[in-house]
Chains A and B, each alone.
Chain A
Amino acid sequence: MKFLTEYRDPELVTAYLEEIHRITTKPWTLMEICGGQTHSLVKNGILEMLPANITMVHGPGCPVCVTSVSVIDEAIYLSLQPNVILCSFGDMLRVPGSKKSLLEAKAEGADIRILYSPLEAVQLAKQNPEKEVVFFAVGFETTAPANALSVVHADQLGVANFSILASHVLVPPAMEAILSDDENKIDAFLAAGHVCTIMGIEEYYPIAEKYKCPMVVTGFEPVDLLQGILMAIDQLEKGEYKVENQYARSVQREGNKMAQETIHKVFEVSDRVWRGIGNIPQSGYEVNDRYKAFNARIKFDIDIPFAEENKECISGEIMKGLKKPRQCPNFGTKCKPEHPLGAPMVSSEGACAAYYHYAGVNEAAV
C-alpha cells in the first residue's frame, strides 16, 4: 500500500478525503467502471480511507474479465487451425475457455504471438503472405479505434491474409443493464476517463436522466478518484443526478471525432454476451458488411457450440456490484491468479486479482 505522501498531490488527497467525510450523511454505493480505476483504488488503499457508509463496487470494465467463454473458445479454435498465426494482447492468454486457455493451446503447438498493437499484426501478415494472421480484437471504446484502423490499413494495403476476431464491448449499455437489474444497488457511477477521451460524454446524459443516477467521468490516479468520488457524493447528498467531468484535462465533451469516425467506418453495433452477465443488447462492435473480408468469424466460418461458464465463479454478481470478491467461497483457495476459475482473477485490473494481490486474502471484507 502507498502512503499519502507518495501521491501526486498529497495535500489535495487529504483535502478531498476530509471533504468526503464531512459531507457524507447517508450510506451510498458507487461503482467505478474501469479496471484501471479498480486497480488504483485497491492498490493505493483508498477503499480503507473512505467513510464506512460509502461502498465502492467494481464494475465490468476489464475486457479480459468480460470476454465470454465462447469467444475465448473461438480464439483457441482459430489458433489451432493449420497455417494460422493468432495475435493477441498478452492479458488474454491465461483466461480460461471452456476446456483450455490460449496459453495451453500455445503449449500444444498453436502459433500465438503477443503484440503491443493490432497495427503490427497487419505488418506480420504482410511479411508472411503464406499464413493467415488473425488479431484477437478485444477491448472497450478506448481500444476500438486501433482495432478498426488495423482493418483500414489491411484494406488499403491489400493485405488479404489478415482478419480480426472482434469482441468489443461498450460501456453505456453495460451501465444500463446494471441500473435496470431488479437487484441494483448502485447510486452513482464513476465513468471511465479514457473511454470518454475517445467517445466524449454525450452518451451519459440520457442514462443519468432516465435512472436518476449521477455520472462523474473520472481519471484513474488517487487524486482523480477521490475528487470523482467527492463529486458523486456531493450530487447524491443534494439529490442531484448530473453528468460531470472530473477528468477535463484529458476528456473533451465531444471526444476524438477522428477516432469515432474510424470506429464507425469499420464496426457496427451488435449484441454481445458478457462473461458473468450474459447477453446485453447492442453492447458490442462487430465488423460491418463493407469490411466482412476481414471478419475472422466469416472468413473461417467458425461454428462452435455455445459454452457455459464455470458455475463455481460468481464473477457476474461481482461485476454487477452484488457481491465482493471475498464473499466468494473459492476466493484465494480454489481460485487464485495461477489457476483462475474465472476471468476477474486473471488480469491485475480484474477485481478479484486486485483484492488478491493488494488487499490480502483474509482481511475483513471492504
Chain B
Amino acid sequence: MCLAIPGKLIAITAQLDDTFRTGKVSFGGIQKEVNLFMVPEAKVDDYLLVHVGVAISVVDEEEAKLTFKYLKDMGEVEELEIPSI
C-alpha cells in the first residue's frame, strides 16, 4: 500500500476549487477518480504517480509504462481493484 502507481490522466472532471481538482486516471485500463491538487501542472494525457487516490507527481510516459508493468508483475496494484464507493 506504500507505493505510488503510475497512470494516464484521461480527463479532468472537476476543478471548482483547487483542493477538489479531480481527474479520471487510467491504470492499465482500470479507471479511478484521482485528486489533482498537488500536481497543478498536470494536464490531460500526462502520466501521473498516484498514491491512494491523490496524484503526487507528473512522470515521463515511458517511465510510467515500465513502472506500471513492473508493479503489476509484482502484484502491487491490487488496491486498484477495490470498488469505488
Residues of chain A touching chain B, judged by Cβ–Cβ distance below 8 Å, are 8, 34-36, 39-40, 43, 61-64, 89-91, 113-120, 123-124, 127, 139-140, 142-143, 145-146, 149, 152-153, 156, 192, 194, 197-198, 220-221, 249-250, 256, 258-259, 262, 347-349
Contact = CB atoms under 8 A, between A and B. Distances in A.
For the complex, would chain A's binding face be called helix, strand, loop or mixed by DSSP majority?
helix
A259 B2 CA distance: 16
Contact of A149 (B54, B59, B76, B82): B54
B66 A143 contact: no
Nearest to A251: B57
B84 to A, nearest CB: 7
A225 to B, nearest CB: 12
Given A63-B1, A89-B1, A116-B80, A149 B51 contact: no
A281 B60 CA distance: 38
B49 interface: yes
Interface string B5-27: 00000000000010110000000
A62 B2 contact: yes
Contact of A194 (B3, B17, B19, B66): B3
A145 B19 CA distance: 12
Contact of A249 (B2, B35, B59): B59
Which of A62, A192, A194 has its CB near the most chain B CB atoms (within 10 A)?
A194
A169 to B, nearest CB: 11
Contacts of A89: 1, 52, 79
Contact of A156 (B4, B17, B82): B17
A116 B37 contact: no
A248 to B, nearest CB: 11
A120 B74 contact: no
Contacts, number: 115
Given A116-B52, A139-B2, 9 more contacts: A36-B76, A90-B79, A114-B82, A119-B54, A120-B84, A142-B2, A143-B51, A143-B52, A153-B20
B40 interface: yes
A12 to B, nearest CB: 12
Contact of B84 (A116, A152, A258): A116
Contact of B35 (A140, A142, A149, A250): A149
Contacts of B17: 156
B19 A156 contact: yes
B41 to A, nearest CB: 10
Contacts of A61: 2
A250 B65 CA distance: 14
A120 B85 contact: yes
A116 B32 contact: yes
Given A34-B2, A120-B85, A152-B19, A145 B38 contact: yes
Given A39-B74, A149-B37, A256-B56, A194 B51 contact: yes
Which 6 pairs across A and B sit closest by C-beta, in order of nearness? A117-B53, A146-B54, A116-B82, A258-B38, A146-B52, A36-B3
A250 B57 contact: yes
Given A115-B85, A117-B53, A63 B2 contact: yes
Contacts of B32: 116
Contact of B2 (A36, A124, A221): A36
Given A119-B35, A156-B17, A249 B60 contact: yes
Given A139-B1, A197-B4, A198-B56, A8 B51 contact: no
Contacts of B2: 34-36, 61-63, 139-140, 142-143, 192, 194, 349
